[in-house]
Structure 1
């Protein structure tokens, strides 16, 4: 294992350790648990939050135009997730942690 790979693993462990400390105080942080369980990196989580923010904006724009079905957005969301995450578990974890609640409630209809 080279130094770069070792550094990445240390950074991942440090990130997961921060999440674990938050879990000690609030064991109901299901999304944080999911991140740790699936070995998701901090950058992947940042990308996920950015994706959700973009999806929220797109959904708001579509709702303003009168759209009522959002399956294309749901499909885009699903295919943009890291491969280790399944759409249903992400939606459930986000809802339990009140993350992007409106978006996840709409997406839950397509599971």
Structure 2
């Protein structure tokens, strides 16, 4: 009978194969999540961060702000330690996640 460790090892191997099958052009943010082995809770925190920052961006645009470096700083400081801002922004833009926010953040890279 297969042990739990053996099953887990097999699943990790299958995950690696699936990542290779997906390629980088399809769902790059989801791929990044798997490559960095982030948890569901990590991603929920990321989405909550982006929701908050998107709201702040809307408010700042309504107040005629044109520079959004403070938003970028908040994003960078709150981002999971396994993630780099440039790779996350690029992946989100390519996948169409939070496009307005990511475009504003990209200007600060």
TM-score range, shorter chain: 0.7 to 0.9
Choose from 25, 46, 49 the match for 1:48: 46
Question: Residue 29 of structure 1 aligns with which residue?
Answer: 27
Give the Cα–Cα distance (whole angstroms) in 1 for the partners of residues 98 and 43 of structure 2. 14
Q: Larger Cα Rg: Structure 1 or Structure 2? A: 2
Query: What SS is found at the alignment partner of 2:67?
Result: coil
Runs of 4+ in 1 over 4 A off after TM superposition: none
Q: How far 1:95 sits from its partner (Å)?
A: 0.5
Q: How far 1:90 sits from its partner (Å)?
A: 0.3
Q: Determine whether 1:69 maps to 2:60.
A: no
Query: What SS is found at the alignment partner of 1:63?
Result: helix
Q: How far 1:66 sits from its partner (Å)?
A: 1.1
Choose from 57, 69, 80 the match for 1:82: 80
Tell me the TM-score normalised to structure 1 length.
0.77
CA RMSD of aligned residues (A): 2.3
After superposition, give the CA deviation of every residue in 1:72-94 in whole Å (9 maximum; x if it has no partner): 01000011000000000000000
Alignment of 1:94-109 (within 5 A): 94-109=92-107
Give the Cα–Cα distance (whole angstroms) in 1 for the partners of residues 96 and 47 of structure 2. 13
Give the Cα–Cα distance (whole angstroms) in 2 for the partners of residues 107 and 82 of structure 1. 16
Give the Cα–Cα distance (whole angstroms) in 2 for the partners of residues 40 and 96 of structure 1. 20
Question: Residue 93 of structure 1 aligns with which residue?
Answer: 91
Unaligned runs of 5+ in 2: none
Query: What SS is found at the alignment partner of 1:103?
Result: helix
